């Protein structure tokens, strides 16, 4: 079915994916053309992630991304008027309290986000509940939390120790109970990810968490090889866009130097 004939995907449609037995594929977009291309490819969930800080804005991690920058990129993606669900990340230090989370989430929804993602489990239950009470759909994010990269000392798999297993499972259950329609499991030990997926009724969307999650999400730049200077071990590029861009630019430089138009 052509994209323009497909129904608009909603948070409830994603929530019900597990009961339908339909796995969820999600990718990131930060601009209008990428959002359109992903939508035309049939991607059901597009995340305007704070990963924009690293792969587009040149920051060393996600903690420097501002709400204004997120609003800018959400608005660009929203202009593509996708059938896919558009989810926007609340950036670092924009949801320390429930009122703060709601006010800042409204900034992203007014820009075009149809749901909000925030990092944390038990610790952010008040914020998730407040967002839901305000009528804002929420996608959770547990396991390795990039916004806490500095405190955690890098990207580390979560759930290897018994203490971590208990905490990550508690986070998953708390996020679901608070009203999230799906939850990202980032760098969660694969067997624990399988257990969480079996226990929750909402879809688990894995990134670096093995094959047993109910869906998967990747940074599009990692998928297409557009950011060659760093790629997570779990991300396999299916094409090499970076080399294609370099090759095209090198050819253009030669053409101009040789007097071509």
Which are the catalytic amino acids? 186
Taking the alpha carbons at both ends of the chain, their separation in whole angstroms is 41
Please name the helix (run of DSSP H) or strand (run of DSSP E) that holds residue 13, with its range, or none: helix 11-15
Minimal CA–CA distance to 106: which of 130, 139, 76?
A: 130
β partners of residue 183: 140, 204
For strand 24-28 and strand 45-48, is the pairing parallel, antiparallel, or unpaired? parallel
Q: What distance in Å separates the CA atoms of residue 70 and residue 113, rounded to the nearest whole number?
A: 10
Residue 102's alpha-carbon distances to 17, 96, 117, 119, 201, in angstroms, are 26, 11, 12, 15, 25
3-state secondary structure of 138: strand
Residue 2's alpha-carbon distances to 14, 42, 167, in angstroms, are 20, 9, 43
């Amino acid at each position: 079915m052509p994209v323009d004939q497909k129904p608009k995907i909603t948070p409830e449609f994603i929530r019900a994916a597990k009961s339908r037995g339909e796995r969820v594929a999600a990718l990131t977009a930060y601009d209008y053309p990428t959002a359109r291309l992903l939508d035309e490819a049939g991607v059901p969930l597009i995340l305007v992630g704070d990963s924009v800080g690293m792969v587009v804005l040149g920051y060393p991690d996600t903690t420097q991304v501002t709400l204004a920058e997120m609003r800018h990129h959400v608005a660009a993606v929203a202009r593509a008027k996708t059938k896919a669900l558009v989810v926007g990340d609340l950036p670092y230090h924009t949801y320390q309290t429930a009122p703060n989370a709601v006010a800042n989430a409204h900034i992203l929804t007014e820009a075009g986000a149809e749901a909000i993602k925030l990092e944390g489990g038990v610790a952010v239950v008040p914020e998730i509940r407040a967002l839901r009470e305000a009528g804002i759909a929420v996608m959770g994010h547990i396991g390795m939390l990039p916004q806490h990269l500095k405190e955690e000392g890098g990207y580390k798999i979560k759930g290897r120790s018994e203490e971590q297993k208990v905490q990550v499972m508690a986070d998953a259950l708390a996020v679901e109970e608070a009203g999230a329609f799906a939850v990202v499991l980032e760098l969660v030990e694969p067997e624990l990810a399988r257990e969480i997926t079996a226990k929750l009724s909402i879809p688990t969307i894995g990134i670096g968490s093995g094959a047993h999650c109910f869906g998967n999400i990747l940074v599009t730049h990692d998928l297409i090889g557009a950011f060659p200077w760093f790629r997570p071990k779990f991300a396999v590029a299916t094409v090499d866009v970076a080399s294609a861009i370099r090759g095209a630019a090198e050819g253009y430089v030669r053409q101009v130097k040789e007097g071509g138009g």
